[in-house]
Amino acid sequence: MKIAKCTWDAVQDADGYNVYLNGDKVNEELITDTHFYIPGLEPDQYEAYATSVQQGIESDPSNVQVFEISSPPLSTDFGEFEDGDNNQDIAEWISENEDSGTVDLWVVNDEPFGMPLPNEGKAIRDIVANQHQRWLLWDEAGEHNDVQIKSIIGGRFLSTTDGDLAIAARYSSDEENSNTSLVNGYAVGIGDAGGTEDPGSHLSIYKWNDNVLSVIGKVPFEATEEEWINLVLRIEGDSLKAKAWDVGEPEPSSWMLEETDSDHATGRVGIAKTEGINSYVDYFEVESL
């Protein structure tokens, strides 16, 4: 929870002041200072104002202050895990829609491909090579409606055998840890989403409806054989936005993809793989909007 500080100008001959938050008075006794701290605020938008009191008569409200309390982003570079840890060791992350009996779906590695990591932490990857969709959900982050996810991913993006990796939001499933579960949600990733008509790597926004995967927007994105890429997905209401850029390069000032879709309203966040192996995640950040 957060604390907000409200301030106002002094009123001559005032006995004191009252402060109101969303129409409700928050002080029990008259305030003699020209500021007041309001504790215990959850993330939300608030409206505050002060009144002066003189000889028992309360003034009209001062200028209304509108402010927003937001949660700080939750992030990880996986540095708390050890090289060789799998999905049974990283308790804060839940592996779903996996092969029955498979344990080592996601393994922490120090330097995949021998490439230095952008951060000082670790990187995780999916090591199972098959055509099943697989998900690693950040249980600690909970469920979100409007959310922005930032991540750093690495992989062999031009390989025809290695699959697409994406960061996902508004994920939901009718059952856990099963190849037969019906998955819903959105994701953004780098991969060959153009098919034979539009070959090459793309930045794509994906959608799952009852486990049916479709591409609702894509734009060509030049990827090399082995590199680290910043990836951002922002979802507000039915607006879906995405951008990507190479680590070490400046962030694009505008969104590269902007789409609308209203099929999924809430769900969990995490990492999705559609097929193949050899894609990595070095950093993951979630910010509730």
269-279 pLDDT, tens digit each: 998 876 555 67
Mean pLDDT across the chain: 80
If you compute the radius of gyration of the chain from its CA atoms, what whole number of angstroms results?
24
Residue 262 has pLDDT above 90, yes or no: yes
pLDDT digits (tens, 9 = 90+) for 30-62: 999 988 888 777 777 888 899 999 999 999 988
More confident residue, 39 or 246: 246
- Higher confidence at residue 5 or residue 240? 240
pLDDT tops 80 at residue 193: no
Q: How far apart are CA 16 and CA 239, in angstroms?
A: 46
255 pLDDT tier (thresholds 50, 70, 90): very high
163 near 147, Cβ under 8 Å?
Answer: no
Query: For 69, what's the count of Cα atoms within 13 Å in the CB-facing half-sphere?
Result: 16
The residue from 19, 39, 69 where one domain ends is: 69
CATH code, domain with 47: 2.60.40.10
Domain that holds residue 190: 74-288
Question: Do residues 15 and 131 share a domain?
Answer: no
CA separation, residue 106 to residues 60, 246, 277 (Å) = 61, 24, 10
Tell me the pLDDT tens digit for each residue of 14-32: 999 999 999 999 999 999 9
> What CATH number does residue 121 fall under?
2.60.120.560
**pLDDT of the residue at 92:** 73
pLDDT for the residue 80: 83
Q: Are residues 183 and 260 in the same domain?
A: yes
- Are both 140 and 233 inside the same structural domain? yes
- One domain, residues 29 and 80: no
Q: Of 166 and 101, which is predicted with more confidence?
A: 166
The reply to whether 186 and 60 lie within a common domain is no
Question: Which residue do the tokens 């004191």 mark?
Answer: 16
**Residues with Cβ < 8 Å from 66, sequence gap 6 or more?**
45, 46, 47, 48
Predicted local confidence at residue 190, as pLDDT: 83
* Residue finishing a domain among 24, 47, 69: 69
More confident position, 70 or 189: 189
Q: What is the pLDDT of residue 226?
A: 73
Q: Does 28 lie in the same domain as 167?
A: no
Considering the domain architecture, whether residues 150 and 166 belong to the same structural domain is answered as yes
Co-location of 91 and 143 in the same domain: yes
81 and 122 housed in the same domain: yes
% of the chain beyond a pLDDT of 70? 78
Residue 161 has pLDDT above 50, yes or no: no
| Same domain, residue pair 112 and 222 | yes
80-134 tens-digit pLDDT? 888 878 767 776 777 765 444 444 567 787 777 677 788 777 888 776 555 566 7
Instruction: Identify the pLDDT of residue 159.
Output: 46
Mean pLDDT of 135-147: 85
- Domains in the chain, number: 2
Asked whether residue 177 falls in the same domain as residue 38, the answer is no
Contacts of 201 (CB under 8 A, 6+ apart): 157, 158, 190, 191, 192, 220, 221, 222, 223
What's the confidence (pLDDT) of residue 160?
A: 43
> What pLDDT was estimated at residue 101?
43
Determine which of 4-18, 166-180, 191-205 has the lowest per-residue pLDDT on average: 191-205
What is the widest separation between alpha-carbon atoms in the chain? 81
Given 20, 47, 69, the domain boundary residue is 69
**Same domain as 97, residue 46:** no
